Amino acid sequence: MPQIRPIKDLRNTTEISELCHSNKEPIFITKNGYGDLVVMSIETYEREIAKVDLYKKLAEAELQIKNGELLLDAEDVFKGLRNKYVRK
């Protein structure tokens, strides 16, 4: 469940930092009862950015399929990667 805190709680940076790291979720900060900021750990931020990047790539792939673009064979792709990166 998301944490919602008033902006005055930002005075205690240690507590906010600990909450961000222990919950591994963003903390929503309100100002005068309205949403104002989101605070999160770098780990959570990087995870969220990775998700957005994945969703973007999936949307691009779905569009390519919809447009009838040539698809690559997964076995051929992995074989090529193994040949390129796996030392024998």
Instruction: Report whether pLDDT(71) > 90.
Output: no
pLDDT (tens digit, 9 = 90+) per residue, 76-86? 999 999 999 98
Do residues 78 and 63 touch, judged by C-beta distance below 8 A? no
pLDDT in tens, 24-56: 999 999 999 999 999 999 999 999 999 999 999
3-state SS, residue 71:
coil
Alpha carbon of 28 to those of 8, 11, 44, 54: distances in Å?
Answer: 12, 15, 14, 24
Q: Which CATH number fits domain 3-40: 3.40.1620.10, 3.40.190.10, 3.30.70.2860, 3.20.20.80?
A: 3.40.1620.10
Q: Are 3 and 20 in contact (CB under 8 A)?
A: no
Would you kindly state where each structural domain of the chain is located, as residue ranges? 3-40, 44-85
Taking the CA atoms of the chain, what radius of gyration do you get in angstroms? 21
Q: What is the pTM of this model?
A: 0.72
Q: Would you state the pLDDT for residue 47?
A: 96
